[in-house]
Amino acid sequence: MNKGATVISVINNKGGVGKTTSVAAFAELLAYLGYRTLVVDLDEQSNLSMFFHSYIDDNEEVISGIKKPDEMNVCELFKYRFKEKAEIQQLIHTTQIPGVDIIPSSKRHTRTVLELTLNTGNNNIVLKRALKTIKEDYDYIFLDNAPASNILTVNSIFASDYIITPVKVEQYSLKGLRETLSSIVYIKEEHDLEQIEFLGAYITQASTNTNAFKTGRELFQNSLHSKLFQTPIRQDTKINEVNQTLRSLFESGGSNAVIDYANLLIEMKMLPPEGEEKLIQCLSE
């Protein structure tokens, strides 16, 4: 019996570093290996929801709260502070990838932070309490965060077992990483959350043969030491094509980035032995 999903937050205060692409890639790889995976879109930009064909555009009446939405999503999870399994299940959509489900987002999610701050309850654990009801239905749950440090990011951290951070080899990305790590450390110490582990950072959109990459990687290595994964995600034009056409990453055919994400998943040591063995075998074929 499943003892409950492993929950992973993908966090960086800086945008454009590949958080959403990472969540999609990990989810597809895990589904390919036979693991049930849920992804949760916490970003008001809703790119993950679009990628998994689960985005519904809100009109102004819905965004302002005058009219109820036709379908509920992550916004209602926070607005109504759902904590029953049946309530959470009605937010979950199946996707075009067998084995991957999603709790999507939409434009009205822009109001969520404000609505949470107006509530006097324990706003830090709304997401954790909700996900607890469905953890036994999945092997992995990935939380895709906005490039921000707010109450939604705090909820993501509280709900997680592990935190991972994609970065680009540039000074601003290093700054964003330091801010992210400071936030994680503060939240863990302030709330005594010893069970939550920062698993590490990994470099995305990497041109591995350039001096800029080698210099940037050295900077991150000096800052993170063992918390920098050694597998970079190579820059790949096919990833851009996938993001534009909203096709499965596996449909891109021969993508270096997909191979890199597979190697990174192995390096992260989150797979059961049989899953790791299957993935290693696939990479060797």
The tokens describing 62, both together, are 């819905």
Residue 85 CA to residue 133 CA, distance in Å, equals: 5
Cβ neighbours for 122, distance < 8 A, ≥ 6 positions apart: none
Domain residue ranges in the chain: 6-284
Residues 6+ apart with CB under 8 A from 284: none
Q: Which of 37-41, 96-100, 112-116, 177-181 has the lowest mean pLDDT?
A: 177-181
Average pLDDT over residues 229-244: 79
**Does pLDDT of 204 surpass 70?**
yes
Which of 163, 161, 146 lies closest to 202, judged by CA? Answer: 163
pLDDT tens-digit series, residues 261-278: 999 999 999 999 999 999
Rounded CA separation 36/144 (Å) = 17
Burial of 83: CB neighbours in 10 Å, binned 0-12, 13-18, 19+ = middle
% pLDDT > 70, the chain: 93
Give the model confidence (pLDDT) of 66-103 as tens digits.
Answer: 899 989 999 999 999 999 999 999 999 999 999 999 99
95-154 tens-digit pLDDT:
999 999 999 999 999 999 998 988 878 999 999 999 999 999 999 999 999 998 899 999
pLDDT tier at 1, thresholds 50, 70, 90: very low
Structure tokens, 156: 């993501």
Q: Assign residue 26 a region (left: φ > 0; alpha: ψ between -120 and 50; beta: otherwise).
A: alpha
- What CA–CA distance (Å, rounded) separates 218 from 249? 30
The CATH class given to the 6-284 domain equals: alpha beta
Residue with the larger pLDDT of the pair 11 and 241: 11
DSSP classification of residue 208: T
pTM of this prediction? Answer: 0.93
Model confidence at 217, pLDDT cuts 50, 70, 90, reads very high
Residue 13, pLDDT above cutoff 90: no
